[in-house]
Chain A
């Protein structure tokens, strides 16, 4: 094992000498090294994203070596502050982040926002879904809304995030799209997705707002029924799940994950990062990592990423103001 690693490092070193300067073709090395800054502990979603991306980039030969640093604290705020404060020495560092950076900047939990960082690219994402127990009488979003209209209290919708967090926002978005008052819905927060799922299966709550990939795993086991998914079109991974849009609820939502660099890094460096990530999508190494984790490719580079984040910030901000969180 150690021998192999040593040999691979040697080959990379040789390759790095051979290709002087970045070469932007597929399969050629674009960057010597990337240091991934992970704002949470080992084993979490951010950790998996950074390590999976690093694995694909290095195995495909796009990047020489990848190193990883877990820096948790403040729900990710410590790593953001670290990246900004030490910006000059962080040229080779990419920080992974996701939708919470938008939400937490809005609520003021983070003093900074994505605007204080260099936007590299959004790489993957997961849609959200509303699910019910397989034994439930509710067959569609219409049924759920009808039950809600008949007796507001009888439909408790749970989720694995705090009120004002992602799962709650998705449930509120759906309610708003249906013309209901999003503040009236009884949202029950749980500590984690797993606990919320246990709450649904035990009948404590009637519906659950959760990540689509989590929902698919349980739907395939016949435990839950997906009433609606927040994508534009049905998702290939589970064609049986209808979208919200096709049920007349005009709402979409993507929980994205992507990468940020320190503020003020050079234009060349940024271009190299974006080139490496863009070329990564066509490699079999990435496909293997992606399929293994059940990720959906949602690629937004540079200015597209900025436009995407600004739109999401607008939508979420409006909704949070309606809900009274801002």
Chain B
């Protein structure tokens, strides 16, 4: 391995490749910051450039840089504008945006940058040491386990429901699951619930829904409620970039846990950064105690650090099945695989043997990329945070423009705009009625995978037998049950104790 690292260092530290890392990170960060533009579209655009370079190591380093950069930059629009540009950064807005609204935008961006750096770097270390051994982990999960993992994800919804909101959260989750069934599923030959409209055949796109749920209602609220906009940018607290020592201490265990958990979820070809970030958020909320738990959703440091660490670690993890098995785990890595094959590199078990310099150069470039991103982002934070100081009458059109553009550019389909506005109006009404919107989005993301994996397992085992026949499935389902029951059990015990004390008086 030492030999490999040396080969990688030699390859990655050529002037050309260093420039590639820096260029990739820059391009990725800036485009990723725009709401609605995710790593997938950026990488698709960059592929002709990368192939033009000709050197596979340099091309892959460039594309990997773009990939991290986009994930890194994606958190910016989530935190500042509540307009997540990438599915993996939706969870970032849960606590990042409230923090920014409290006038702590700079601090939120710093926490996101540091957590991303830590998640990416720890992920790269794990990838470096364990990649060959992890290829078997990537194949550990069958459809039955993916189904159970999605159930665990759904059970975590409880974490997103405030007090007295459980019923509302459940209703929104179900609505999300319903929306996920629109269009042609992977398992049925016919489109469902399209009402004969051709534009609904490919279903509702995630980015459109995310924009409609978060960015549009936010912009409309700013218009409807002038007082809301005041006091966030102008408060002058943007200079406050640092988090305190206590906050740093609180972050360390979160980062430690979530880099591991996120990385392993990323290794599974059927999961990915989005699932990792939601599960990361939910797990951290469930194990947090008392006051800290109440803080989640209102600008908690832990609630921001958890998804940011997890999504970056998961992105790194997703290189395991790509590099060691040649299996793409997500749309983005599928495009990367296409680029690699076009460059005459076939990823798979023989990659490390046949062309070790490519394998190691990519891993080393991950370290460099993460470092470059941190160095690049930290000094820029005060300037980026100033976006919030833009007067509302300029900021709102800006948000609306990028929201609409983001929804259009993914598909180049004007109907997406109508759907965005329609769903956005719906979301605004829900917000007036105080229904939480995050559960809807989580239901939507998990819905398709939940259904596909469930029916696949049913078909493979000719019934529900897989639940008992596969111990890991059973284990995950029990974990899901505990996640639902434990908080209410704890709450009841706390209530009983409180009333017990009252009786004693």
Stretch from B138-146, B277-285, B307-315 forming part of the interface with A: B138-146
- Beta-carbon contacts of B314-334 to A below 8 Å, as 1s and 0s? 000000010001111100001
Looking at the assembled complex, report how far the CB atom of B197 sits from the nearest CB atom of chain A, in whole angstroms: 9
Question: Is A204 a contact partner of B201 (Cβ separation < 8 A)?
Answer: no
Is A184 an interface residue when CB atoms closer than 8 A count as contact?
no
Question: Is B184 a contact partner of A75 (Cβ separation < 8 A)?
Answer: yes
Give every chain B residue within 8 A of A294 (Cβ-Cβ). Answer: 341
When A188-B456, A195-B270 are in contact, do A75 and B201 touch as well, CB less than 8 Å?
A: yes
Rounded to whole angstroms, the CA-CA distance of A162 and B185 in the bound complex is: 8
Give every chain A residue within 8 A of B326 (Cβ-Cβ). Answer: 197, 217-218, 221, 223
Looking at the assembled complex, report how far the CB atom of A237 sits from the nearest CB atom of chain B, in whole angstroms: 12
Rounded to whole angstroms, the CA-CA distance of A230 and B448 in the bound complex is: 32
Partner of A189, one of B186, B191, B462: B186
Question: Is B202 a contact partner of A75 (Cβ separation < 8 A)?
Answer: yes
Question: Is B139 a contact partner of A292 (Cβ separation < 8 A)?
Answer: no
Is B198 an interface residue when CB atoms closer than 8 A count as contact?
yes
Give every chain A residue within 8 A of B239 (Cβ-Cβ). Answer: none
A-B contact count (CB 8 A): 139
Is A9 an interface residue when CB atoms closer than 8 A count as contact?
no
Q: Which residue of B lies closest to A293 (CB)?
A: B342
Is A257 an interface residue when CB atoms closer than 8 A count as contact?
no
Q: Which residue of A lies closest to B144 (CB)?
A: A204
Rounded to whole angstroms, the CA-CA distance of A156 and B458 in the bound complex is: 13
Question: Is B189 a contact partner of A107 (Cβ separation < 8 A)?
Answer: yes
Rounded to whole angstroms, the CA-CA distance of A262 and B201 in the bound complex is: 23
Question: Is A73 a contact partner of B413 (Cβ separation < 8 A)?
Answer: yes
- Beta-carbon contacts of A47-73 to B below 8 Å, as 1s and 0s? 110010000000000000000011111
**What class of interface size applies to chain A in its complex with B?**
35 or more
Question: Is A71 a contact partner of B143 (Cβ separation < 8 A)?
Answer: no
Is A255 an interface residue when CB atoms closer than 8 A count as contact?
no
Rounded to whole angstroms, the CA-CA distance of A325 and B43 in the bound complex is: 37
The interface size of chain B toward A, counting residues with CB under 8 Å, comes to 57
Question: Is A188 a contact partner of B459 (Cβ separation < 8 A)?
Answer: yes
Rounded to whole angstroms, the CA-CA distance of A75 and B142 in the bound complex is: 28
Q: Which residue of B lies closest to A291 (CB)?
A: B344
Give every chain B residue within 8 A of A73 (Cβ-Cβ). Answer: 198-199, 201-202, 411, 413, 415
Partner of A162, one of B138, B189, B199, B350: B189
Looking at the assembled complex, report how far the CB atom of B199 sits from the nearest CB atom of chain A, in whole angstroms: 5
Is A302 an interface residue when CB atoms closer than 8 A count as contact?
no
Give every chain A residue within 8 A of B48 (Cβ-Cβ). Answer: 51
Question: Is A43 a contact partner of B459 (Cβ separation < 8 A)?
Answer: no
Question: Is B139 a contact partner of A74 (Cβ separation < 8 A)?
Answer: no
Is A22 an interface residue when CB atoms closer than 8 A count as contact?
no
Question: Is A41 a contact partner of B412 (Cβ separation < 8 A)?
Answer: yes
Is B229 an interface residue when CB atoms closer than 8 A count as contact?
no
Give every chain B residue within 8 A of A125 (Cβ-Cβ). Answer: none
Is A190 an interface residue when CB atoms closer than 8 A count as contact?
yes
Is B452 an interface residue when CB atoms closer than 8 A count as contact?
yes
Is A304 an interface residue when CB atoms closer than 8 A count as contact?
no
Is B501 an interface residue when CB atoms closer than 8 A count as contact?
no
When A75-B202, A191-B452 are in contact, do A198 and B138 touch as well, CB less than 8 Å?
A: yes
Question: Is B191 a contact partner of A70 (Cβ separation < 8 A)?
Answer: no
Give every chain B residue within 8 A of A217 (Cβ-Cβ). Answer: 326, 341, 346, 348
Rounded to whole angstroms, the CA-CA distance of A162 and B329 in the bound complex is: 19
Question: Is A71 a contact partner of B413 (Cβ separation < 8 A)?
Answer: yes
Question: Is B327 a contact partner of A201 (Cβ separation < 8 A)?
Answer: yes
When A204-B142, A218-B348, A222-B349 are in contact, do A43 and B411 touch as well, CB less than 8 Å?
A: no
Is A153 an interface residue when CB atoms closer than 8 A count as contact?
yes
Give every chain B residue within 8 A of A221 (Cβ-Cβ). Answer: 326, 346-351
Rounded to whole angstroms, the CA-CA distance of A189 and B142 in the bound complex is: 14
Partner of B202, one of A72, A163, A165, A203: A72
Rounded to whole angstroms, the CA-CA distance of A294 and B460 in the bound complex is: 34
Question: Is B188 a contact partner of A74 (Cβ separation < 8 A)?
Answer: no
Is B41 an interface residue when CB atoms closer than 8 A count as contact?
yes
Is A42 an interface residue when CB atoms closer than 8 A count as contact?
yes
Give every chain B residue within 8 A of A164 (Cβ-Cβ). Answer: 189
Is A20 an interface residue when CB atoms closer than 8 A count as contact?
no
Give every chain A residue within 8 A of B410 (Cβ-Cβ). Answer: 41
Is A78 an interface residue when CB atoms closer than 8 A count as contact?
yes
Question: Is A202 a contact partner of B198 (Cβ separation < 8 A)?
Answer: no
Partner of A69, one of B44, B198, B351, B412: B412
Most chain B beta-carbon neighbours within 10 Å: one of A48, A75, A164, A194: A194
Rounded to whole angstroms, the CA-CA distance of A241 and B452 in the bound complex is: 32
Give every chain B residue within 8 A of A186 (Cβ-Cβ). Answer: 459-460
Which residues of A172-227 are within 8 A (CB) of B?
186, 188-192, 194-195, 197-199, 201-205, 217-218, 220-223
Is B338 an interface residue when CB atoms closer than 8 A count as contact?
yes
When A72-B413, A162-B184, A221-B349 are in contact, do A198 and B44 touch as well, CB less than 8 Å?
A: no
Is A307 an interface residue when CB atoms closer than 8 A count as contact?
no
Question: Is A43 a contact partner of B327 (Cβ separation < 8 A)?
Answer: no
Give every chain B residue within 8 A of A48 (Cβ-Cβ). Answer: 338
Question: Is A188 a contact partner of B269 (Cβ separation < 8 A)?
Answer: no
Is A25 an interface residue when CB atoms closer than 8 A count as contact?
no
Rounded to whole angstroms, the CA-CA distance of A285 and B501 in the bound complex is: 84
Give every chain B residue within 8 A of A222 (Cβ-Cβ). Answer: 348-350
Partner of A74, one of B44, B187, B198: B198
- Beta-carbon contacts of B270-304 to A below 8 Å, as 1s and 0s? 10000000000000000000000000000000000
Rounded to whole angstroms, the CA-CA distance of A191 and B184 in the bound complex is: 11
Give every chain A residue within 8 A of B491 (Cβ-Cβ). Answer: none
The 7 A-B pairs with the shortest beta carbon distances in the complex, nearest first, are A221-B348, A43-B44, A74-B198, A202-B139, A42-B44, A164-B189, A191-B186
18 contacts between A and B (CB under 8 A): A41-B410, A41-B411, A43-B338, A71-B413, A72-B411, A72-B413, A74-B202, A107-B189, A188-B456, A188-B460, A189-B186, A201-B325, A202-B140, A218-B326, A220-B348, A221-B347, A222-B349, A292-B51
Show the binding face of B for A, using Cβ within 8 Å.
40-41, 43-45, 47-48, 51, 138-143, 184-191, 198-199, 201-202, 269-270, 321, 325-329, 334-335, 337-338, 341-342, 344, 346-351, 410-413, 415, 452, 456, 459-460, 462
